[in-house]
Amino acid sequence: MKMVLRWFGEGNDQVPLHHMKQIPGLEGVAWALHDIPAGEVWPLDKISEIRKQADSHGLNMDVVESVNIHEDIKLGLPTRDKYIENYRTTIKNLASAGVKVICYNFMPVFDWVRTDLYKEHEDGSTSLFFEKSIIENIDPMKLVKEISLNKNYSMPGWEPERLKYLTELFKQYEGITEEDLWDHLQYFLEKIIPIAAQYDIKMAIHPDDPPFSVFGLPRIMKNKADIRRLLGLVDNPYNGLTLCSGSFGVNADNNVAEMVREFSDRIHFAHIRNAKTFGNGDFIETSHRTSDGTIDIYEIVKALHEEGFTGYVRPDHGRQIWDEECRPGYGFYDRGLGIMYLWGIWDSLVRAGKETYHVTN
Ligand code: CS2
Ligand code: MN
């Protein structure tokens, strides 16, 4: 596996690249042009600026997270063709900088959803928390205010430009079913995958987070059946998956290690994190360690290892520890610890494999 870390860009990330580079085994950053609104072309000069910054620290920029999809594409509006054309141009531009994987998601209106960004654990650390009964009863506008107000940092997926027209957006989604969303995804992929293949960039859809409908909006990337359907929409290796353990894993019916085994050849990027579920739809994000949460991180890494996974991996969200000032979910310290936990599992599997090899040969 090739280890990368999410980076929000110079001046927008609390962690400088030279600190990231000090993490053992870190090869690159998962980056994005966060100031370009969804639907617009990513300009070549801005991309080559990132190239220079990454190069000067010996980090690759192979993975982009995310090139966001304009809502008109998800809604299937006639204006979608213009935005799809822009997306194709962005793919070509990214290819010129050597990008290999584009992570994206197809969630209407919101990306990830939580009810508390600073839920305190017994040890005083904090992390993202989801309480189902709150979501069922809260006005989305109120949640948006809470999430975007108390921050010094913009939250990925909750960008102000995206949320400005929230009421109108909700209206537009009235009557849009999951089947409609599938049709719109297919339309998009049929136009995007050929160009992605031509430019050797793998498309990797991120699952719905959490993996069920919120605020009555349709969501279609929730489980194994959905992944099978996605891969069949355009049956091409360039149409693949971001396997996010924390998104799929909070539904007890999703066995993430099994997903790895079934879909390994179409997993281009993996997000690995743990969460503790409470059986009623609530969950809290924890350290990456298997025994701290409900998701079996060891089994997932083992499955990746056994499948000979050579794609990109990043630790996903972490807790906020040691009084770090950071974007909730994106503490550097806990993600760094997460990386070392993942390497610990991986290295011992590699070593055990070699030792078995020696014994039998
Ligand atoms: C990420 C997602 O921060 C997170 O929850 O895992 O926001 C992810 O970046 C997007 O859904 C990918 O498009
Ligand atoms: Mn993720």
Ligand nearest to the CA of 112: 1
Quick one: pLDDT at residue 361?
44
The C-alpha atoms of residue 93 and residue 99 are separated, in whole angstroms, by 9
Nearest CA-CA partner of 320 in 303, 342, 335? 335
Check if 245 has its Cβ closer than 6 Å to any atom of ligand 1: no
Give me the phi and psi of 158, to 5 degrees please: -125, 35
Check if 106 has its Cβ closer than 6 Å to any atom of ligand 1: no
- What is the distance in A from the centroid of ligand 1 to the CA of 178? 20
Structure tokens given for 258: 């099994």
The C-alpha atoms of residue 234 and residue 212 are separated, in whole angstroms, by 24
Is the preceding omega at residue 66 within 30 degrees of 0, hence cis? yes
Instruction: Read off the CATH number of the domain in which 16 is found.
Output: 3.20.20.150
Structure tokens given for 344: 């610990």
pLDDT surpasses 80 at 160: no
Instruction: Give the pLDDT band of residue 357 (cuts 50, 70, 90).
Output: low
Q: Mind listing the pLDDT tens digit for each residue in 1-35? A: 999 999 999 999 999 999 999 999 999 999 999 99
Q: Mind listing the pLDDT tens digit for each residue in 36-78? A: 999 999 999 999 999 999 999 999 999 999 999 999 999 999 9
pLDDT surpasses 90 at 163: no
Q: Are 278 and 293 contacting, i.e. CB atoms less than 8 angstroms apart?
A: no
Using DSSP's 3-state secondary structure scheme, residue 126 falls into: strand
Residues near ion ligand 2 (Cβ under 5 Å): 244, 271, 316
Hey, what's the torsion of the CAs at 282, 287, 289, 291, to 10 degrees?
Answer: -40
Check if 2 has its Cβ closer than 6 Å to any atom of ligand 1: no
Mutation probe of ligand 1 site: the residue of 206, 243, 317 with most atoms within 8 A of C-beta = 206
Check if 111 has its Cβ closer than 6 Å to any atom of ligand 1: yes
- Number of CB atoms found within 10 A of residue 88's CB: 18
The reported pTM is 0.95
Q: Across all residues in the chain, what is the average pLDDT?
A: 94
Q: Mind listing the pLDDT tens digit for each residue in 245-275? A: 999 999 999 999 999 999 999 999 999 999 9
The mean per-residue pLDDT over the stretch 208-229 comes to: 95
Quick one: pLDDT at residue 152?
67
Check if 103 has its Cβ closer than 6 Å to any atom of ligand 1: yes
| Tally of domains within the chain | 1
User: For residue 67, what are the CA distances in angstroms to 32, 38, 130, 230, 306?
Assistant: 7, 7, 25, 18, 30
- What is the distance in A from the centroid of ligand 1 to the CA of 361? 44
Q: Which domain holds residue 343?
A: 2-360
Check if 131 has its Cβ closer than 6 Å to any atom of ligand 1: no
**Could you give the ipTM of this predicted complex?**
0.94
Give just the sign of the alpha carbon dihedral 343, 348, 351, 357: negative
